[in-house]
Structure 1
Amino acid sequence: MTKDAHQAADAAPALDACGALPSAGAALRPRDVAASCGSRAYAALDLGTNNCRLLVGTPAPGGNFRVVDSFSRIVRLGEGLGATGNLSDAAMDRAVAALRNCADKLARRPVRALQAVTTEACRRAGNGAAFLARVEAETGLRLRVISAREEAELAMESCAPLLEPGDRRALLFDIGGGSTEIAWIRIHPGRQVPELIGYISVPVGVVTLSERCGPSCFTEAGFHAVVDEVAAKLAGFDAVHCIGQEIRAGGVRLMGTSGTVTTLAGVAMALPRYRRPLVDGQTLEACVADQALGDLFALGRDGLAAHPCVGPDRVDFVLPGCAVYAAIRRVWPVPRLTVADRGLREGILLRLMRADRLVGARRAAPRGWHGTA
């Protein structure tokens, strides 16, 4: 079984709650809220360039949450987008079918609140708005297109519990299907929520790269050409924020979230099959992650398709993602990598639950009380 097939089976551990109030956007329709006001579950749906994912969780003690249901399917929504500027009919059909499954799950499990978002593919597509109107008409789901900055913020909030005492800064990257988000983060001692001090969205992801130069990534020359291209795109961001200088001073944690880094971790740990609880939060020596990258490259297409942490559905995306990771490592040679199997959906759930706690605290406060939660 592949990584995606195991995500529903391996329930996530409790996650610390942190983050800001949610932005206005996709939520349950009024009739749904009325029907589910007694539910303790919250839902987050993320339609990305490559995957459609749903996560349902309930609050747990200490501001944490427990996963009670999940769904993940590769839909390749961004397939062909780079060449045409539009979402293809086949890609939209695949995405709608997956979203219909998500809607069916939500109909069977009423939730207190839902946020449904979409990212790079719908940001770029000329027919993105028409597609989202079709989604709402056919599934009842109202998806909100979020900015690259909000992507970075959500990833930061979900990964914040993995920070450790002594961390001054964190460099968080998310290698997506249509883009790669980089967040430069300041950690304030004693504060639960870190500060996003800079971010960049690089318009290269595993889907766009696999379509443009996927076969060449199986050759050394082609792989290193992608590394050079991405590293050049990151150099300006590094110069603006003096990240290399901060790394040399120490106290900078490199954190990665996405299928690329979780696959590297699974290979480095020699897992017989991918298991999220074993991977999420794991810190690898960079040389170990580099060796795992080399092992993946040496497998070739057939070997990747047969690998339990890759599989045939992801074989075209692994090496393009590894090339992006190698570029990040070249520009920012941090000695260790913290792997996070969490991201947008977890960040959304944390925001929704935190917002409800704030509302509850204000309702419970005596008249005239102006404290903060």
Structure 2
Amino acid sequence: MAVPTKVAAIDCGTNSIRLLIASRAADGSLVDHDRRLELVRLGEGVDATGRFSPAALERTFAACDQYAAVIRDLGAERVRFVATSAARDVLNRDEFTAGVRARLGADPEVIPGTEEASLSFSGAMSGVQVSAEPAMVIDCGGGSTELVLGRQGSGGPVIESSDSLDVGSVRLRERFLHDDPPTAEQIRGARALVREMLDGSAVDPSQAATVIGVAGTLTSLSAIHQGLKVYDREKVHASRLTTDEIRGVAEVLLASTVDQVEAMGPLKRRRAEVICAGALIVEEIAARMGADEIIISESDILDGIAAQMLDG
């Protein structure tokens, strides 16, 4: 099969589905032709029911229809659809697969954790300057949180350790943080679970000389901290959050109602509904880091998927 010159990478998680259409520049860097996100909450209720709800599937398939039109218009030659945490264990995954295939001509791939770690790490490392290694990448999603510790070798990323923690912003919000805003008791329960998972993790955050944060929770925390009223990708990319700043933002979010969070400006409703849980997870990781700040990268697993396809 010939190596494509323009590809479409789709990352479907518990809360969002994202599209990147990219090609290679003459210098080997990625060129974005289109990058977009829809908050479809595919994993809504999955933790309790073990199934994708009809409403969640309808939202996700509507986004797939939009993406299919963009892919056709821009002439992407190959599509890869990667599904992560929400799609791993559901009972009606066949319904999801058939719906995606009908709209995009590609089956969702539920990739193993080792591949997810490698793609996330290479995508994140491609987007920021790393002066000290090892580096740790944090991807706090809706259903799980990925931690990857490694180095950028001459032949690609060298992963020293990685882990997928079975806790993310949607899952933690649904399981513990029921009130709006959450009660102190609910927050204590959520912290206890996150700490237990970090205690048992294969990745030790204290070993990281540099920490890079990717995806919606981390980019949202940066946007809120900067006081952005409208999300600005350029201002978020390569921004930095110290551990004290993360703690401060988390404290505000855990004490705010969803309406208050949404009124802050940069977040859509479905992100605002779960960002307090994501902030708690990131705060707990930051408390254990060897580095004193997190560098925020807009380059992530999507960039890793696209680069892999373009390299054949």
TM-score, scaled to structure 2: 0.91
Is 1:310 matched with 2:267? Answer: yes
Contact 2:139–2:146 (CA under 8 A) maintained in structure 1: yes
C-alpha deviation, 1:166, in angstroms = 4.1
Question: Quick one: distance in 2 between partners of 1:161 and 1:167?
Answer: 15
Contact 1:214–1:316 (CA under 8 A) maintained in structure 2: no
Question: Quick one: distance in 2 between partners of 1:192 and 1:338?
Answer: 24
Contact 1:103–1:141 (CA under 8 A) maintained in structure 2: no
Q: 1:127-276 alignment to 2 at 5 Å?
A: 127-162=92-127, 164=129, 166-188=131-153, 191=154, 193-216=156-179, 218-237=182-201, 243-244=205-206, 246=207, 252-276=209-233
Question: Quick one: distance in 2 between partners of 1:89 and 1:254?
Answer: 38
Q: What is aligned with 1:89?
A: 54
Contact 2:177–2:183 (CA under 8 A) maintained in structure 1: no
Contact 2:136–2:211 (CA under 8 A) maintained in structure 1: yes
Output one character per residue of 1:299-351: Cα deviation in whole Å (capped at 9) or x when no partner.
43221021112242322111010111122123335311111223221111111
C-alpha deviation, 1:262, in angstroms = 1.0
SS at match of 1:332: coil
The structure-2 alpha-carbon separation of the partners of 1:40 and 1:222, relative to structure 1 and needing over 3 Å to count, comes to same
The structure-2 alpha-carbon separation of the partners of 1:266 and 1:234, relative to structure 1 and needing over 3 Å to count, comes to same
Output one character per residue of 1:32-90: Cα deviation in whole Å (capped at 9) or x when no partner.
x9xxx9x8422101121111111111212321122111331111111111111111222
Amino acid of the residue matched to residue 274 of structure 2?
A: F
Amino acid of the residue matched to residue 237 of structure 2?
A: D
Q: What is aligned with 1:327?
A: 284
Question: Quick one: distance in 2 between partners of 1:276 and 1:341?
Answer: 7
Is 1:278 matched with 2:243? Answer: no
Contact 1:55–1:70 (CA under 8 A) maintained in structure 2: yes
The structure-2 alpha-carbon separation of the partners of 1:304 and 1:111, relative to structure 1 and needing over 3 Å to count, comes to same
Contact 1:160–1:193 (CA under 8 A) maintained in structure 2: no
SS at match of 2:156: coil
SS at match of 1:78: coil
Comparing 340-349 with 293-302, which one deviates more in the overlay? 293-302
SS at match of 1:313: helix
Q: What is aligned with 2:302?
A: 345
Coordinate RMSD, CA, aligned: 2.3
Aligned match for 1:106, one of 71, 96, 106: 71
**Larger Rg, first or second structure (1 or 2):** 1
C-alpha deviation, 1:163, in angstroms = 5.5
C-alpha deviation, 1:138, in angstroms = 4.7
Output one character per residue of 1:76-134: Cα deviation in whole Å (capped at 9) or x when no partner.
11111111111122211221111111112212221133211111111111221332023
Amino acid of the residue matched to residue 223 of structure 2?
A: G
**Runs of 5+ in structure 1 lacking a partner?**
1-29, 356-373
Output one character per residue of 1:271-307: Cα deviation in whole Å (capped at 9) or x when no partner.
2321011111222322223223233334432210211
The structure-2 alpha-carbon separation of the partners of 1:104 and 1:219, relative to structure 1 and needing over 3 Å to count, comes to same
Structure with bigger strand share is 2
Q: How many residues are treated as equivalent by the alignment?
A: 311
Is 1:55 matched with 2:20? Answer: yes
The structure-2 alpha-carbon separation of the partners of 1:352 and 1:266, relative to structure 1 and needing over 3 Å to count, comes to same
Contact 1:227–1:326 (CA under 8 A) maintained in structure 2: no
Question: Quick one: distance in 2 between partners of 1:161 and 1:56?
Answer: 17
Q: What is aligned with 1:291?
A: 248
**Runs of 5+ in structure 2 lacking a partner?**
none
Contact 2:137–2:212 (CA under 8 A) maintained in structure 1: yes
Contact 1:56–1:70 (CA under 8 A) maintained in structure 2: yes
Amino acid of the residue matched to residue 199 of structure 1?
A: S
Amino acid of the residue matched to residue 177 of structure 1?
A: G
Amino acid of the residue matched to residue 199 of structure 2?
A: A
TM-score, scaled to structure 1: 0.77
SS at match of 1:323: helix
Structure with bigger helix share is 1
Question: Quick one: distance in 1 between partners of 2:213 and 2:288?
Answer: 15
Contact 1:285–1:337 (CA under 8 A) maintained in structure 2: yes
Contact 2:229–2:264 (CA under 8 A) maintained in structure 1: no
